[in-house]
Structure 1
Amino acid sequence: MERRELWEVIEEARRRAPGDAEAVAEEMVAILAALPRERIVAAAQPLWDLLTDAYRIDLWAAAYLINGGASDDGFVYFRGWLVAQGREAFERAVAEPDSLAGLPAVRAAAERDEDLEAPDIVSTVWNAHLKATGEELPPGSFAIRHPALDDWDFDDPAQVRARLPRLAALYLD
């Protein structure tokens, strides 16, 4: 499965479950589980490639700011949430993490002091394969290749304000 095809699955899931990342994950599982086994397995790598594209220090800082902290797992779940926002929002955030401040979901989360995470997005292909076949994904179905990240003190308000001014205005001011 090509990345473009995975985005089509994600967008269809978003149409079926607008505004709810966990419901998007459920719809993705349903859509993928209806595909032939080989196509389900083939969706694993493009999903992890998307999650890896978002494995950036500035996005980690954004997740840390938005969620009041972000462990390794928390950052994976935040990236899952970001995938569930759709291709346009995802690509904009990867290119410019401070653009997240313009998303209504981020603004609402800031007002309500809510975390933005979607752990079930990360396991959609796994769950779809299990649902369709009763079996786990075969070993070697995907590889995770995270790049090395620069160092950044997310607890330093001056660094956050300098690098993520719009998000800092929502979360620090």
Structure 2
Amino acid sequence: MTVDHFWALVEQGRARAHDPSDAEEVAERTRQALTSLAAAGVAELNQPLHDLMAASYRVDLWGAAYQLNGGCSDDGFEYFRGWLLTQGREVFERVVADPDALAGLPAVREAAEEALDLECEDMFGVVADAYHALTGTYDLPATEGRYPELGQFWDFDDDDEFRRRLPRLAGLLGE
């Protein structure tokens, strides 16, 4: 199974969700789609999920998540990236390439207006949960590769630095 297979299942989950902007519902529908596969196929999707999480492990994206969610721990960053997966492949790839593109997403605009956190822990664990539903165990094969180095952190609380690095997002948040 490949990253393309994983994205096809996410899109299936988004299509089956009554509200595709509801990350928790998309995660649940994706989990349901995964459980229609054989356990071995689900296990094979653990690596593509890991690869996507590694691709989005970027300090500039962490800074954006920190600003959007009013803070962002290590776990919070995982859950933010889980939310990002629920937005679908096109959005995910665009935002990973340019975290400032978050400012143009309707879900982000709504979250900013209503002070909502953008997180989805369930999507981060969707493969493990589907595998568990099928087998009764969480013993998935180990993934290969480590998360990349994040690079130089910057002070996420520094409003001037935030405006310099993510100007559209800073404008949206009124910084």
TM-score by length of 1: 0.96
SS in structure 1 opposite 2:45?
helix
CA RMSD of aligned residues (A): 1.1
In structure 1, the partner of 2:146 is 145
In structure 2, the partner of 1:5 is 5
Q: Do the aligned residues in 2 keep the contact of 1:107 with 1:170 (CA within 8 Å)?
A: yes
2:48 is the alignment partner of 1:46:
yes
In structure 1, the partner of 2:131 is 129
Matched AA of 2:136? G
Deviation at 1:170, TM superposition (A): 1.5
Deviation at 1:135, TM superposition (A): 1.8
Q: Do the aligned residues in 2 keep the contact of 1:13 with 1:27 (CA within 8 Å)?
A: yes
Q: Distance in 2 between matches of 1:4 and 1:169?
A: 34
Q: Distance in 1 between matches of 2:87 and 2:124?
A: 13
Q: Distance in 2 between matches of 1:80 and 1:127?
A: 14
Matched AA of 1:55? Y
Post-superposition Cα deviations, 1:129-149, rounded to whole Å, max 9, x if no partner, equal 111112223352x24611112
Q: Do the aligned residues in 1 keep the contact of 2:128 with 2:140 (CA within 8 Å)?
A: no
Q: Do the aligned residues in 1 keep the contact of 2:46 with 2:140 (CA within 8 Å)?
A: no
Deviation at 1:93, TM superposition (A): 0.2
Aligned residues: 172
Q: Distance in 2 between matches of 1:127 and 1:93?
A: 26
Deviation at 1:72, TM superposition (A): 0.2
Post-superposition Cα deviations, 1:36-89, rounded to whole Å, max 9, x if no partner, equal 111010011101111111100110000001001100000000000001000011
TM-score by length of 2: 0.95
Matched AA of 2:9? V
Unaligned runs of 5+ residues in structure 1 are none
